[in-house]
């Protein structure tokens, strides 16, 4: 039975708290960068609180100026976030059994991290969608906090890349992916996605290579696992 309980939300919040700590440095970087683009600390926090899409927010700063090309900005955001259509489709067997009033908060706080974690839980028998929402709440809060701190402290923090924080997210996704491999046939969609991502990185606009990789990996998954 599919549910969404307070206990599930709380469990999801605590579950991703250790990983969410490492979201803060990215928020710090965005907050410091957005100030140099001419926004105020309040505007930076508002953007992170309402958009909650780090890659799109960084991409938007590249187009930010006195005259904002709104059409180009929308297309860039679409390209970077188009993967969420695939994430949503993957979650549909789980959350589509819930009413819209409960689905929308989950989708609004959906990110790569809580999606990946929840997929592993679903395979293990978890049916409380509160874990997705709870994880999203924790990630959203730390992203906003990091943005606020970065906007207020500015460049005083120095280069955060020297701590190697960016490697932790890659390691997290790699660990979750390996954890989901249960047979040899599970490897082929992963290999396909990796190859397509690398091969199309310089051929497609930013973000679209991820979409191409997801579609290619999904297609191979259907061929190797289809009944």
What does the pLDDT read at residue 189?
85
State the chain's maximal CA–CA distance in angstroms. Answer: 57
Model pTM? 0.77
Query: What total number of domains does the chain contain?
Result: 2
Q: Are residues 143 and 214 in the same domain?
A: no
CA 154/CA 152 separation, integer angstroms = 6
CA 160/CA 165 separation, integer angstroms = 8
Q: Does residue 93 have a pLDDT over 60?
A: yes
Q: What is the CA radius of gyration of the chain?
A: 18
What does the pLDDT read at residue 212?
83
Average pLDDT, the chain: 84
Kindly state the average pLDDT of the residues 171-187: 71
Evaluate whether residue 1 is within a structural domain: no
Chain centroid to CA 195: 21
Give the number of other CB atoms < 10 A from CB of residue 10.
Answer: 14
Q: Are residues 96 and 142 in the same domain?
A: yes
What range does the domain containing 187 cover?
183-227
Q: Are residues 51 and 99 in the same domain?
A: yes
The phi and psi torsions of 128 (rounded to 5 degrees) equal -90, 105
CA 153/CA 102 separation, integer angstroms = 37
């Amino acid at each position: 039975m599919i549910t969404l309980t307070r206990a599930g939300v709380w469990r999801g919040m605590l579950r991703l708290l250790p990983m969410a700590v490492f979201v803060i440095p990215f928020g710090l970087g965005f907050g410091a960068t957005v100030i140099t683009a001419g926004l105020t600390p309040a505007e930076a926090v508002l953007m992170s609180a309402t958009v909650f899409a780090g890659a799109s927010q960084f991409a938007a700063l590249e187009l930010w100026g006195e005259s904002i090309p709104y059409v180009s900005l929308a297309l860039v955001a679409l390209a970077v976030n188009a993967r969420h259509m695939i994430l949503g489709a993957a979650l549909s067997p789980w959350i589509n059994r819930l009413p819209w009033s409960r689905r929308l908060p989950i989708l609004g706080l959906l990110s790569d991290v809580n999606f990946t974690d929840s997929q592993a839980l679903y395979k293990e028998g978890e049916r409380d969608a509160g874990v997705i929402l709870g994880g999203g709440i924790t990630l959203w809060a730390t992203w906003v906090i990091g943005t606020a701190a970065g906007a207020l402290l500015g460049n005083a923090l120095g280069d955060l890349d020297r701590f190697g924080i960016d490697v932790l997210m890659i390691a997290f996704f790699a660990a979750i992916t390996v954890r989901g491999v249960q047979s040899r046939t599970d490897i082929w969609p992963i290999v396909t996605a990796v190859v397509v991502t690398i091969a199309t990185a310089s051929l497609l606009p930013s973000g679209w290579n991820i979409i191409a990789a997801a579609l290619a990996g999904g297609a191979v998954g259907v061929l190797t696992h289809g009944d």
